[in-house]
Amino acid sequence: MLFVSIQELEAAINYWRSQSPSRGDELILSKEASALAKPYALMIIQGAQRIPLDMLDEVCKESLAKFVAWKSQAR
């Protein structure tokens, strides 16, 4: 996978939110959901449908990889 789509990022964020719900009065996201939310927000602002994987930081790549592995096992 060279690119990740905005739909895939959204699904990964939702997965991590289900694994580790927001906490506190401020509704703080988990480390994984927060990392994925940054490129997701940029894609929305820029109107992009996909982003190269090499543009993502390590936490984001790792969070996305764990989501993809979970998704492939869930099938």
Full domain range(s) for residue 9: 1-51
Query: Residue 18 falls within a domain, yes or no?
Result: yes
* Count of structural domains within the chain: 1
**Band (25; pLDDT cuts 50, 70, 90):** low
Is the pTM value of this prediction over 0.75?
Answer: yes
pLDDT attached to residue 28? 81
**Mean pLDDT, to the nearest integer, of 61-69?**
95
Residue 57 phi/psi, 5° resolution? -75, 170
- In this predicted structure, the answer to whether residue 26 has a pLDDT above a threshold of 90 is no
Domain presence at residue 33: yes
Q: Are 49 and 6 spatial neighbours (Cβ–Cβ below 8 Å)?
A: yes
pLDDT at 3: 95
